[in-house]
A and B are shown apart, each in its own frame.
Chain A
Amino acid sequence: MVIHEEDKLRCRQLNTLGRLMAGFTHEQKNHLAIINESNGLLADLLEMQQITDETLAARLEKIVATTKDRVAKAAEMAQHLNRFAHRMDTPLATFQVNELIFEELTLLHRFANMKQVDLDTSFSTELPGTYNNPSLVQFIFFCLFDAALEGSSARDIIKISTEPHGDSSQLTLTMTGQGDMPFSPIKEEILCEAFHFAITKMGASFIEKHGEGRHMRLILRIPSLTP
Chain B
Amino acid sequence: MNKINLLIVDDEVEFAATLAERMELRGLAAQIANNGKDALEMVSASQPDVVILDLKMPDLSGLEVLEGIKAKDPSIEVIMLTGHGSTASGVEGMEKGAFDYIMKPIELAELLEKINLAYNKRHGIA
Contact = CB atoms under 8 A, between A and B. Distances in A.
A71 B104 CA distance: 11
A26 B86 CA distance: 11
B107 to A, nearest CB: 9
Given A41-B21, A41-B22, A48-B25, A34 B15 contact: yes
B16 to A, nearest CB: 9
Given A29-B104, A29-B105, A34 B18 contact: yes
Contact of A29 (B18, B19, B83, B108): B83
B15 to A, nearest CB: 5
A37 B85 contact: no
B62 to A, nearest CB: 13
Given A29-B104, A71-B105, A37 B18 contact: yes
Contact of B83 (A26, A44, A81): A26
Given A30-B104, A36-B106, A86 B86 contact: yes
Interface string A32-47: 1111111011001000
B22 A44 contact: yes
Contacts, number: 61
A169 interface: no
Interface string A67-103: 0000110010011111101100000000000000000
A33 B104 contact: yes
Contact of A83 (B12, B15, B85, B106): B85
Contacts of B21: 41
B84 A34 contact: no
Contact of A41 (B18, B103, B104): B18
A37 B19 CA distance: 6
Contacts of A162: none
B56 interface: yes
B15 A82 contact: no
* Chain B CB within 10 Å, residue with most, of A30, A33, A35, A75: A33
A25 B103 CA distance: 13
B22 A75 contact: no
Interface string A115-134: 00000000000000000000
B105 A33 contact: yes
A85 to B, nearest CB: 8
A33 B22 contact: no
A44 B25 contact: yes
* Chain A CB within 10 Å, residue with most, of B15, B103, B104: B104
Contacts of A25: 85
Interface in A6-63: 25-26, 29-30, 32-38, 40-41, 44, 48
B27 to A, nearest CB: 12
Interface of B: 12, 14-15, 18-19, 21-22, 25, 56, 83-86, 103-106, 108
Interface of A: 25-26, 29-30, 32-38, 40-41, 44, 48, 71-72, 75, 78-83, 85-86
